[in-house]
Amino acid sequence: MKTKSGEFQRLVRIMARLRGPKGCPWDREQNHRTILRCLIEEAYEFYEAALDNDPAAMCEELGDLMLQIVFHAQMAAEKRRFSMDDVLRSISDKLERRHPHVFGSAVVKDSGQVISNWERIKRNEPHNRRRVSLLDGIPAHMPAVLKAFKIQKRVGRAGFDWKDTRGIFDKIGEETGELRAAVRSGRAYRIRDELGDLLFSVVNLARKLDIDPEEALALTNKKFSRRFKGMEVRIARDGKKLERMSLAEMDTYWDKEKRRDAKGDGR
C-alpha cells in the first residue's frame, strides 16, 4: 500500500490554519464535545459505504473520518495535552507491542493464539491494570447491539459460553415464551425486560454463528428499505395511494417486489 506522508501533513497544516487566528470562525468555536457527534456520524457513513462495497464512497468517507481525528488532535495540541505525533506514536507502539510474533521473537500457531496473546498483553498495560472485571473498559455509550456482542465475546473467552448453537436456540425459545407471558400481563416493565433478554439471546446466536449482528441487521434494514421503496413506486405507477390501501393489498405488492428483488440478486 503506497501512501504520501506529504498529504497527511498537508491535512494537519490545513486544520491548524482553520483553527488559527485568521482561520474559520466556525472551526475556531468548536471543542471536543461540540463535534463529538460528527465523529460517530462519519464512522457510520464509512460503515454504510463499506457495506455497499463502494470504493469511491469509502475513500471519501475515510477522508471525512480522518478529518475528525486531526480536528480533535489539533484542539488537544493547542492546550498542550497531546499532538498528532503523539496519537500516531501511541498506535504504532501499541501495534508493535501487541504483535510480538511479527515484531519480536514470539511464535504463534494460529489466529486464536494471536488473540490470546493480544488480550494478555493488553491486560498488562499500565492503564488496563486498574481493571477488575472482564467487562471493565467497554464503553458505556456504545450502541446496545454492539455492546451486547462485545460483552458476550469477553465472557466467552473466559469460558462462560454455550457449547454450541442448540443451547442458544433453546434459550431463544424460552425467552420468547417469557416475552409472550409478559405481553399477556400487560406490564410495560416486564415486557421491556423480556424483550431485552430475547434480543440479547439473538445477539449471542449471531456471535456463535460468527456473524456480526450489527452488520446483519444493517443489511436487513437496507433490504427492507429497498423493497419498500420499490413497492411504493409500483403503487404510484398504478395510480394508487399507499395510505388508502388495505394491508392485504399492500401485502400483494410487497410479495411481488420481494420476488423481483430476489431475482435481481438483491438478497
Which DSSP string corresponds to 201-239?
HHHHHHHHTT--HHHHHHHHHHHHHHHHHHHHHHHHHTT
Mean of all residue pLDDT scores within the chain: 94
The count of structural domains within the chain is 3
Domain endpoint, select from 179, 196, 211 = 211
**Span 35-57, pLDDT tens digits:** 999 999 999 999 999 999 999 99
Q: How far is CA 250 from the centre of its chain?
A: 33
Instruction: Give the pLDDT confidence score for residue 267 in this predicted structure.
Output: 47
- Among the candidates 211, 234, 250, a domain finishes at 211
* DSSP for residue 241: -
Domain CATH code at residue 193: 1.10.287.1080
Give domain status of residue 99, yes or no: no
Are 27 and 66 in the same domain?
yes
CA angle (156 as vertex; 182, 129 as ends), nearest 5: 115
**Per-residue pLDDT tens for 211-261?**
999 999 999 999 999 999 999 999 999 999 999 999 999 999 999 999 998
Give percent of the chain above pLDDT 90: 87
Q: Examine the pLDDT at 177 and tell me if it is beyond 90.
A: yes
Rounded to an integer, the average pLDDT of 117-130 is 87
pLDDT of residue 263: 80
- Within a domain: 56: yes
CA-nearest of 226, 235, 217 to 264 is 226
**222 and 185 co-located in one domain:** no
Whether the CB-CB separation of 155 and 161 falls below 8 Å is answered with yes
Question: 129 in a domain, yes or no?
Answer: no
Q: Are residues 74 and 17 in the same domain?
A: yes
Structural domain containing residue 239: 214-263
- Residues 201, 233, single domain; the answer is no
16 and 76 together in one domain: yes
Residue with cell 488537544: 76
